[in-house]
Structure 1
Amino acid sequence: MSQPNPYAQSQTPISPGQERTLGAVAHGVPLAAMVLSAGLLGFVGSLIIYMLYKDRGPFVRQHAANSLNVQIFAGIIMLVSLPLMLVLVGFLTFGLAFVLAFVLHVIGAIKANNGEWWDPPMTPRFVR
């Protein structure tokens, strides 16, 4: 018979208002990190929010997962764009990936702040 870990913290659910706020933060922090790092570090904010709050409520989990999915998809496009920059096409695809992620994060933050469930279009679901 296993003993409960006395040092483990229990994950208590959070209020709907806190979930809305954290859902908006899950899009806002990666958006700011993405802008400040030219698109390279936005996934770090998404990953931290997802790991810290994924078990605290379904609304914040979905928005954090959506944020992480947007960042993974944009990161893949940006990585593919790097070698394509040798033939000048990569500059266009890199910029489009940046703008797409920016727009999806702004829409996601607004939807989360309004308490609306939302799945970003044109984004594969890597994280659920």
Structure 2
Amino acid sequence: MTATPPPASAAAAPLSEAEDRQWASFAHLGGILGILPSLIIYLVFKDRGAFTRTESKEALNFQITLLGIQIVAYIVGTILIIVFIGFLFYVVTWAAYIAGLIFSILAFLKSKDGQAYRYPFALRLIK
């Protein structure tokens, strides 16, 4: 008795142009919630659409940059709280959050129209 091999998994279908723009814009808009939406979209759709790959990578790099800024603000804020000047921690953290919110919405609006968006400041860690 010979066992039949399991069927080969089919590669995911490429995204249509509309879907490509949609997922690219969602990668930016997901930045409102943090790093996970951009990361998930990048990992799931990077091989299915060129525009989604580019824009989700850009969004992910920006979210990594914001996360780094927030970590540094937390460390510096913790040190400053000891010296009773801890309010700067809250200022920097809120400023990073508001900047992330604004830039994510701007990027969403550009990418939903099919235009590439480059954040004004982001470490390009993912190539």
TM-score bracket, shorter-length normalisation: 0.7 to 0.9
Aligned length: 115
2:9 partner letter = A
1:119 partner letter = R
2:126 aligned residue: 127
CA distance in 1, matches of 2:43, 2:20: 14
CA distance in 2, matches of 1:30, 1:118: 14
Alignment of 1:58-69 (within 5 A): 58-69=50-61
2:22 aligned residue: 21
CA distance in 1, matches of 2:10, 2:35: 26
Deviations 1:88-119 (A, max 9, x none): 22222211211111111111100111110121
1:96 aligned residue: 95
Give the secondary-structure state (helix, strand or coil) at the position aligned to 1:126. Answer: coil
CA distance in 2, matches of 1:92, 1:84: 12
1:80 aligned residue: 72
TM-score normalised to structure 1 length:
0.82
Give the secondary-structure state (helix, strand or coil) at the position aligned to 1:120. Answer: coil
RMSD: 1.6
Cα offset, 1:6, TM superposition: 4.1
Cα offset, 1:7, TM superposition: 3.6
Poorly superposed stretches of 4+, deviation over 6 Å: none
Tell me whether 1:12 sits opposite 2:13 in the alignment: yes
| Structure label with greater radius of gyration | 2
TM-score normalised to structure 2 length:
0.82
Deviates more, 1:70-79 or 1:96-105: 96-105
Contact 1:70–1:104, Cα closer than 8 Å, also in 2:
no
Contact 1:69–1:126, Cα closer than 8 Å, also in 2:
yes
CA distance in 1, matches of 2:120, 2:9: 38
Cα offset, 1:123, TM superposition: 1.1
CA distance in 2, matches of 1:6, 1:97: 48
Tell me whether 1:110 sits opposite 2:109 in the alignment: yes
